[in-house]
Amino acid sequence: MVNNPITTIFFDLDGTLIDTAPDMINAINILRRQQQQASLPLSALRDYVSHGSAVLIQKAFDIDHNHPQLEPLRQQFLQIYQQNIAIHSRLFTGMDVILNYLKQRQLKWGIITNKPSWLTNPLLKALNFTQDCCCVISGDNLIHKKPHPVPLLFACRLTHTQAQHCLYIGDAQRDITAAKRAGMKSLVARFGYIEAGEQPEQWGADGQVFEAEEILGWL
C-alpha cells in the first residue's frame, strides 16, 4: 500500500458500519406476531441481514423464493422496518474510533450500500450521521448496484479520488467483488453478518478485520 496510499475509505452500511440487525429482526418479529407466529431470537436471523429483505423473509417464515406470499410479506416487513428504523441501530463497537481517526487525519469517507435510499437516508438522519460523510450511494441511486463496480466508481468521481487510493470495507462477498472490479483495496468485516458456511477468506479481499479498530492497521 506504500505506493498507493489510502486517502478515501468507503463502508458498506448494514453489517459493516452500523449494526442494524436488532431493528430489522424486531420488524420481522412484529410481522411474525401479526401472522400469529412466535418471535425469533436475534441469533436466528442475524447472519442473513446482509442478504436482503427477501432472504430474511424466506428464513423467518420458512418459505422459498417462489412462494406466493414472499413479496406481500416482504412489503409488509419493509413498511414496519421503515417505521422502526433507528430504535436499536448503532455504530459497531470501535467504529467511532475509526471515524474520529479519519476526521483528525482529514481522510475522506463515504457509504456505498445496496439498501434503498428511502431506508438509508432516514436511518442516517436519525443517527445524525451525515455531517462528515462525503457521499452516500444507495442501491436505487444508479442503474447498477453491488457486486457491479459502478457504485464504487461513481463514489470515486464524487470524492475526486482514484480507485487505487480507496479502501472498501464490507461484510458480503458482493462487496469484495465490487471492490476488486473497481480496482480498490478491500477488507472483509468479519464482525458483520456472515452466514455460517461462508468462506470469506476465499473472497479475494486484501485482508480481514475481526474488530472495527483493526481497520487502523490498514490506514
Q: Which of 7-21, 63-77, 118-132 has the lowest mean pLDDT?
A: 118-132
State the Cα–Cα distance between residues 125 and 130, nearest whole angstrom: 7
Contacts of 91 (CB under 8 A, 6+ apart): 17, 18, 19, 99, 127
Closest CA to 45 of 26, 59, 65, 62: 59
> So what's the pLDDT on residue 60?
96
Edge-to-edge strands of the sheet including 185-189? 135-137, 108-112, 8-11, 166-170, 185-189, 207-209
Q: Pull the grid cell for residue 18.
A: 452500523
Contacts of 209 (CB under 8 A, 6+ apart): 169, 187, 188, 189, 190, 191, 215, 218
Rg (CA), the chain: 17
Reported as a pLDDT band with limits 50, 70 and 90, residue 219 is confident
**pTM of the predicted protein model:** 0.94
State the Cα–Cα distance between residues 124 and 83, nearest whole angstrom: 14
Q: Which residues are catalytic?
A: 12
Read off the pLDDT of residues 12-58 as tens digits, 9 standing for 90 and up: 999 999 999 999 999 999 999 999 999 999 999 999 998 889 999 99
Q: Which fold has domain 8-19+89-218?
A: Rossmann fold (3.40.50)
Reported as a pLDDT band with limits 50, 70 and 90, residue 3 is low
**Alpha-carbon 109 to chain mean position:** 14
Q: Where are the domains positioned within the chain?
A: 8-19+89-218, 21-83
> So what's the pLDDT on residue 2?
47
